[in-house]
Structure formats: structure tokens, C-alpha cells
A and B are shown apart, each in its own frame.
Chain A
């Protein structure tokens, strides 16, 4: 794994301002967050629910602007959405009025790539996520797990350098979740990109991450960074090292034990 820094989050703080009757209320969401993301690593951001992880991801995606601080891609400061960054959303967010194929091909379509060519790209990723044969289905006709696969294929079709994943398996049942975690690792091995993956599930974090950044309760600050490069993937979640790591992180979190 290269150690080149792909993306850096430098001194980012963020707060929302809300008006509550007479008072102006500042809600601190992120407090001086500094993270370096290495090229092609699978980085997991782990933290308790509502701690601001999603906000951080939306900041990186350029959907909102940080109150303080900078986000740099390949050493250059970025603002707004960037074609090199793509995202898998928490609620899949696939367009209900478009078929699986039409959903997956939107990024190349909006980049004005010819139909034949973009269909080829989309088909490659549809096959990669195992949705071959469902191209003409509407989202209503497929399961929640399949919708997330569509979201993943869509994000890949944008051909990004960085993939942001916002609790993509949070809404899935445990069984589907396990198999999707396996799938995402397989896809990542086959087609390496820099991944920033948000979750509130320690087990999921230990299963997937090359490194895990542990956040504190809101306002989120970086509490600890765990390097898991020593643990070979795919990891056995009953192995001693796995359990040790899980307990180590678990004893350090602000989360309620589940």
C-alpha cells in the first residue's frame, strides 16, 4: 500500500446555526478535525450515532462548506463537488423513476459520454456488484440490499479517485449486512480506489478498515487512530486478533454498548 497522501482534512471545524425563538444557537458538529487519507486505503470513520461523521463526509463531498478549515485533494484545496469524488449514500438514494441501468449510468451520462460507451461502463459495474439480469428493473422491484448495490455501482461508474460511503449498510438486516461487507471488500480488491467509509458499527469497522479513525461524541474530534494493516483480509471475525481489536476499540468509545 502506497503511503502517498491522497486527501487531507486540515483543521476542519463545523457548526450549524439555528434560531430558537430569541436565541441564536450554535451547534458544534466537528471540532478541529485533521485526517490524512492515504492513496488506495480503506479508511473507516467510526463514531457514535449523530456525532458528525455524516457531516464530515458531506464536507468532503462538497455538499456543504466547512465553517473553518480546508480539504485538500492531491495537495490542492477543493471547494464544492468534485468529479474525482463520488459517494454511496446512507439511504441508497437511487432514483425511483429510473431503472437499475439508468441509475448506474447517470454519472457518465451527465459527463456527456456517448450512450454506447457509458452503457458499457455501467454494465461492467452492474456485473461487478452482482446485479446482472436486473438492469431493467425499477428500484421498487428489488430488495434493500440490491438497492445498495445499485448505489455502489453508480458511485463506481463515476470513475472516481475517492469513494465516500455513508453507512451504506446501516439500513440492512444483519444477514444482508455481512454478505454486503464481504462483497464490498471483494470489489475493492478488484478495483482499488481510496475509500472513506463511515459506520457506527465496531465489528463492521474492524472487518473493513485498513485504518480506523475513532471519533468522540459530538462535537466530533479524532479520539484515536487504529492501524489494522497487519490484519489480513478477509478477516475472520472469530479470530483472536479480531476480537482483541474489537474489544480495544470498544473499551475506548463513547458509544453505548449494543
Chain B
């Protein structure tokens, strides 16, 4: 039994590398035909090494990554604060809900990208409009999930707070918010992927640095390898961030993970 589970563990640990290897060889196969038009993994790797030495648009690769990361993190951070506050207000204060919910519901279906023309005229092409769009787009799923999570406290827990005479704040702290946390985190996870989407679109339209800028630059200067480097970096950073969120969820909700 022990031996078998050891083999299982090892194979589970190796399998991800296996799938990546298959992906790379498929890519190589597609890219290395006679009239292939896309760069091979080797081309991309070489371009990456070159990039490390020679900046693009007077900006180093680290700088490009840093600029985009800052926009996403600042945008997400603000959206988390605004979204949770807004969702909680909607759920807990009926007057607030009836005044602002219809407005919120009208803004909700307008995709952030649709705001680009208006925002550009308004705020120009600096940092603020890009971060603003990320905040706008990410606030929506977080607000909705917070609202749902808080409004749907199971009856049984509500009864507990009544029978044992929880005060208003006791109830919020011990019953309402903890039961909403999983929904809130799911909202943040959904927001994270749209954060990158929004940021990329606004960077591709107007930016002097960042991963979205690199994609456009690669396309404009017939340097597809450069675009692909940006794509790979987004994939890596994005998955690391959602891994970070999963870790955060475990820290915030120790009751959902088993000890040992």
C-alpha cells in the first residue's frame, strides 16, 4: 500500500511537467513547418534573453512587468475595499440599497472597455484612467458576491444568534461576515482575471510601458516573439496571484482546511 501511494505521489508531482512538455512540443511542431509564421519556443527564449539585455522603448523587462503589476494590484486593492463596503451596505442598509442599487445595476452591464473613449477624453492617457478602469471592472463582481454572501446567511445560523442573544455587532462579526467570506473570495478571484483583461485592453490602446504595451509593440514591429513573451508573463503572474489568493483564503478560513 505504502509503495503504491509513493508512486502515486511522485506521478502526481511529475504530471504537470509532463503536460507542459507536451504543450511545448506541440508548439514546436506547429511553429517549425516550412511556411510556419509563429515563433518557436526557442525563438521566444532567445528573444527573452535579448530583452533582458536590451530594453524595449527605453524600458527594461522588469520595469514593464512592474508597471503592469502595480496597476493591477492598486486597482484590485481599491476594488476589494470599495466592493466589500458597497456589497455590505447594499445587504445591510435597505435605504442605501433602494437608492443606489438601480444605479449600480445600470452601470454593471457596461463593460469597462466601453469606457475607454470617455475616460481618455476626461483623464488623458496617464496612470489614473488605467487604474480607474481596473477598479471599475473589478468592483462589480466583488460587490455582487459580497452582497449575496451577506444576504444569504443560512436560517440556522440566524436562529443561533437569536437564541443566544447576539448583539448587532456580535452577529455581524461572528455570523454574517464569516459566512460570507467564501463568496467574497470567489468574487475577488473572478475580479482578478477580469483585472488583467481590462488592464491589457487599456494598455494596448494607450501606454508607454507595461505588458499590454509589449503585445501591441510586438505586433506593430513584426516581433511576435515579443508579444508572446508578454503573454507568457501574464499567464505566469496571473496564476501566481490566484495561487496567492488561495493561500490567503486558507489563512482567512482556517476552519475549511483540515489539520495534518
> Chain A interface (Cβ within 8 Å of chain B)?
58, 61-63, 81, 83, 85-87, 89, 91, 93-98, 106-107, 109-111, 138-141, 154, 158
Contact = CB atoms under 8 A, between A and B. Distances in A.
A75 B181 CA distance: 44
Given A89-B159, A93-B156, A107 B164 contact: yes
Contacts of A91: 156
B174 A98 contact: yes
Contacts of B109: none
Given A63-B159, A106-B174, A138-B255, 19 more contacts: A58-B159, A63-B163, A81-B165, A86-B163, A87-B159, A87-B163, A89-B160, A93-B159, A93-B160, A95-B178, A98-B174, A106-B166, A110-B164, A110-B166, A110-B170, A139-B255, A141-B258, A154-B164, A158-B164
Contacts of B248: none
Contact of A111 (B159, B165, B256): B165
Interface residues of B, number: 22
Q: Which of A86, A87, A97, A139 has the most CB of B within 10 A?
A: A97
Contacts of B157: 93, 95
Nearest to B256: A140
Determine the main DSSP class of B at the interface with A: helix
B157 to A, nearest CB: 7
Of B157, B165, B175, chain A has the most CB atoms within 10 Å of the CB of: B165
List 3 tightest A-B contacts by C-beta distance, closest first. Answer: A97-B178, A93-B156, A138-B255
Nearest to B259: A141
Interface string B158-178: 011011111100100011001
A35 to B, nearest CB: 20
Contacts of A138: 254-255
Nearest to A87: B163
